[in-house]
Structure 1
């Protein structure tokens, strides 16, 4: 196994630069997720690590080797794509062992590695089947098995769960995490789904428009976002951001004062509060908000509200019989508030 070191990586298409001097240091055995909206550059960065996309500046090292000019086959990586890309006329075992066969590995060694990977992925009873006789989740496991048998230094996953239904996605998330815990192979996982990133990764790299906004553990990003973009991208439903002013002691929300300590900035701010940190209070003790829509999910109730022209989301574990148009009073939890500069969007 080996770590991956990305230093000042740049990528341009003609005169348009799409990756702007990215730096990421991935430790040996670490699971790192690259997340961000479509077009942010996360898949391009992954493809540059794999050698599928040439770089225009900077260096990529896998272990002690700088791999900038090495073809994919010489980088000792294995990639799992969004599409399964299985050979329909070959059996599961033949699909899993094909790369080793091309590399002219010993037949007995191929069989041993395929058997080991099949046992890890619970595919033993399907080794003689063709891909058309498998479910979507089983096909994805075959694609993962094809990567495992190569025993690479680094696994690269490019949105591998996007084509699965909701239930299978959750199941495969668990299987990928168990696989990493067992093999401890360095893994880079690209996804636009922040829930996948939060549940799978040791650390998350949040990207936007070809730059890195923040790197940290899932809870670091959730509890201490560096800016408004990270605050709203990490967490579902998103953090609420309210226009306000700060006088050095409290935040003023259209005449409603919320005490806030540890902030030296004065003037216009954006107050961030997560939906689960809005508490129902009595009239006069909180901020009046008008209920728009109520979405009960069973374990919790999600409520969409309106305050001073701004949309607010609140989540309650308790069950409440709210009705559209009803005015409720909510108070932000003072221990879980975030304050951002109204101009730059940076945390203050």
Structure 2
């Protein structure tokens, strides 16, 4: 097991630079998720760690050793791909044992390692089967077993759950997290699904257009997003955003929206009087007002029952906002109501640069 240190790493294809000098420190035994929209550079960064892409500048170290010029097979990493990459003519045992057989390892050691990995992944009854005889989840476990058998310093996962159905994805992400807790091998996991990132990671690296926007624990990113991109990307449903001007009176701070609605902010929020800002609040921090309460006037647009919660999408002035409620309200589209923000739950961002104030 080892740390992974990424220093000022850049990647360019010809004159087009796609990774812009990023820095990430991944600690020994840590599970770090690289997350971001398609094209943000997360898979390219993972492939550079693996040695499958040459870096254009900067330095990558694994276990304290600079690996810029080290071939992939000598980096002591194991990679789990999106498409499983299993050999169809080999059974499960031979697929998992393949890398050790290439190294001419002792057959007894191969058998011990494969059977040990199979026990961890509940693959014991399937060692004699071929990939075509397995389900998608079983194939993915075989791919992980092949990585475990190698006993690497670092596991690299490149969107390994993308080909699975929704129920199986939930099951497999739990299995991968449990596997990491058992093996404690340093792991770097790439996904575009922020729910996967939130539920699996020790820390999350949020990427956008080849830059790192923020690094932190899942709850740090959720509770204190550093900028508008992170605020809108982390959390499902996404944070509600209202544009307006920052105002202060009687020791309190407010955002007066473009629709002349006053939203109270924390009194110590930064920024200048009259500055153009964006006020953000999570759907779970907006509730439906009782008859006697004041709040933001809203008109119901869409209701989405999800079981535990009901998502109520409303038109608030010129903005569509979402409130998540656990109560069963008999609402209809077009109905008028009021929304009450939770005190102290608002976030204020500079409208021009997007940074948190």
Is TM (by shorter chain) over 0.5? Answer: yes
Q: What residue number does 2:254 align with?
A: 250
Matches within 5 A, 1:267-282: 267=274, 268-282=276-290
CA deviation digits over 1:239-288, x for unaligned, max 9? 00001222122222333323221113222211000001002114660011
Q: What residue number does 1:236 align with?
A: 236
CA deviation digits over 1:140-183, x for unaligned, max 9? 00000000000000000000000000010000011000000000
Q: Is the 8 A contact 1:10 1:57 kept in 2?
A: yes
Alpha-carbon offset, residue 298 of structure 1: 1.7
* Aligned-CA RMSD value: 1.0
Q: Does the C-alpha gap of structure 1 residues 44 and 143 become closer, same or farther in structure 2, counting only changes over 3 Å?
A: same
Matches within 5 A, 1:327-342: 327-342=336-351
Alpha-carbon offset, residue 332 of structure 1: 1.1
1:171 equivalenced with 2:177 (yes/no): no
CA deviation digits over 1:201-233, x for unaligned, max 9? 000000000000000000000000000000010
Alpha-carbon offset, residue 89 of structure 1: 1.1
Distance 2:186 2:324 in 1: 36
Q: Is the 8 A contact 1:79 1:156 kept in 2?
A: yes
Q: Is the 8 A contact 2:287 2:324 kept in 1?
A: no
Count of residues in Structure 1 that have an aligned counterpart in Structure 2:
348
Q: What residue number does 1:322 align with?
A: 331
Structure 1 counterpart SS, 2:344: helix
Distance 1:263 1:300 in 2: 31
Unaligned runs of 5+ in 2: none
Unaligned runs of 5+ in 1: none
Q: Is the 8 A contact 1:7 1:59 kept in 2?
A: yes
Distance 2:306 2:32 in 1: 31
Q: Is the 8 A contact 1:279 1:330 kept in 2?
A: yes
Structure 1 counterpart SS, 2:110: helix
Q: Is the 8 A contact 1:269 1:339 kept in 2?
A: yes
Distance 1:219 1:165 in 2: 26
Q: Does the C-alpha gap of structure 1 residues 167 and 272 become closer, same or farther in structure 2, counting only changes over 3 Å?
A: same
Q: What residue number does 1:80 align with?
A: 80
Distance 2:182 2:226 in 1: 33
Structure 1 counterpart SS, 2:268: coil
